């Protein structure tokens, strides 16, 4: 998969935006980035699209900006000239797709049936847009198509919002979801970019689903860990699970038999998508200790510590 699609996958959500007032383009892009979504698909449904892409590319370089509703080769050229890093089309236009493939321009054409999928594969594509997602059968249809086309990834758009976002993203073949619920047209017209930042942040929170997994407490030795675990489990009627290096009481508190990371211990934060969570936190300045990475039997990352402690506690992410 190309680098642009990998970046989109780590972000997980692609705002689909129509720009009517060119003056709104840059502050809108900054509002999205501030809310944790540094990507946007600017649709070629207005005359301002090309200039909007150009201004965002120049003034908000941290944003991955692409062009949507691209219907012909001329629009591809205009979008790329303005700085678009990817192209999205509503349907499968073989002329447009072939042109982008030959020019090595990332493109995700709209595909909703097996014939479209076969043509996409024939041109070497690894990701397609599924549009209009809900009207075309939703996640059930995507799962049906993924059966015979196991190597294809999907970017569903159309009818997706905070309520069904994770229904799509929880399926591994879904690369990311496109939507407009965090960028409603009225807020753009009003210039209410603060609210757009809030909605973007809420969308990321909904997607990542951060929860407290457990708290680890450092004990000096196994004897003290056992005494503390017995007292805690007795008070709150919790079972004990003895491991090689720690004792879990229920799934709430882990008593370390010897001091581990963190002055006092560690805090485990569960998340729906650990790789996306790491991207999100990295954009906020966090770094990760890669020596602490843990993987499941299939080689998927399941846990990793942040480099810095917070309040004397080490912090690590856990894949739910």
In whole angstroms, what is the distance from residue 307 CA to residue 315 CA?
Answer: 8
Q: Cis omega before residue 132 (within 30°)? A: yes
**Residue 129 appears among annotated catalytic residues:** yes
Closest by CA position to 69, among listed 104, 101, 98, 108: 108
In whole angstroms, what is the distance from residue 140 CA to residue 126 CA?
Answer: 20
Instruction: Walk across the sheet containing 64-68 and list its strands.
Output: 107-109, 87-89, 64-68, 39-43, 13-17, 177-179
User: Which residue of the set 18, 24, 85, 129 is catalytic?
Assistant: 129
**Judging by DSSP bridges, how do beta strands 240-242 and 211-218 pair with one another?**
unpaired
Phi and psi at residue 30, to the nearest 5°: -65, -35
CA angle centred on 244, ends 238 and 246, rounded to 5°:
45
User: Which residue of the set 18, 24, 41, 50 is catalytic?
Assistant: 41
Residue 216 DSSP class: E
**Residue 41 appears among annotated catalytic residues:** yes
Query: Is 67 in contact with 84 (CB distance < 8 Å)?
Result: yes
Query: Is 206 in contact with 217 (CB distance < 8 Å)?
Result: no
Q: Crossing angle of helices 193-208/25-34, nearest 10°? A: 40
**Judging by DSSP bridges, how do beta strands 246-249 and 240-242 pair with one another?**
antiparallel
Closest by CA position to 162, among listed 179, 138, 142: 179
Q: Show which residues are catalytic.
A: 41, 129
């Amino acid at each position: 998969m190309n680098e642009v699609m990998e970046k989109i996958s780590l972000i997980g959500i692609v705002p689909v935006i129509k720009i009517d007032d060119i003056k709104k383009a840059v502050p809108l892009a900054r509002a999205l980035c501030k809310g944790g979504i540094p990507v946007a698909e600017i649709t070629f449904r207005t005359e301002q699209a090309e200039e909007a892409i150009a201004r965002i590319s120049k003034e908000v370089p941290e944003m991955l900006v692409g062009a949507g509703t691209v219907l012909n080769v001329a629009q591809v050229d205009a979008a790329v000239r303005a700085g678009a890093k990817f192209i999205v089309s509503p349907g499968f236009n073989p002329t447009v797709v072939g042109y982008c493939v030959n020019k090595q321009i990332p493109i995700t054409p709209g595909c909703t049936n097996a014939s479209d999928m076969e043509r996409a594969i024939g041109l070497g594509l690894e990701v397609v847009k599924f549009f209009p997602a809900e009207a075309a059968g939703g996640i059930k249809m995507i799962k049906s198509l993924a059966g015979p086309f196991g190597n294809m990834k999907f970017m569903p758009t159309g009818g997706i919002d905070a309520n069904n976002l994770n229904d799509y993203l929880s399926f591994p073949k879904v690369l990311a979801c496109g939507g407009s619920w965090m960028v409603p047209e009225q807020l753009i017209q009003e210039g209410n970019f603060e609210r757009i930042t809030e909605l973007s942040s809420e969308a990321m929170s909904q997607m990542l689903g951060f929860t407290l997994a457990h708290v680890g407490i450092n004990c000096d030795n196994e004897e003290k860990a056992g005494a503390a675990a017995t007292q805690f489990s007795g008070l709150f009627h919790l079972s004990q699970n003895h491991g090689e290096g720690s004792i879990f009481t229920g799934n709430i508190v882990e008593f370390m038999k010897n001091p581990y990371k963190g002055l006092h211990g560690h805090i485990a934060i569960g998340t729906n998508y650990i790789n996306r969570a790491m991207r999100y936190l990295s954009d906020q300045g966090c770094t990760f200790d890669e020596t602490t990475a843990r993987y499941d039997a299939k080689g998927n990352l399941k846990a990793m510590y942040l480099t810095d402690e917070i309040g004397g506690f080490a912090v690590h992410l856990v894949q739910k």
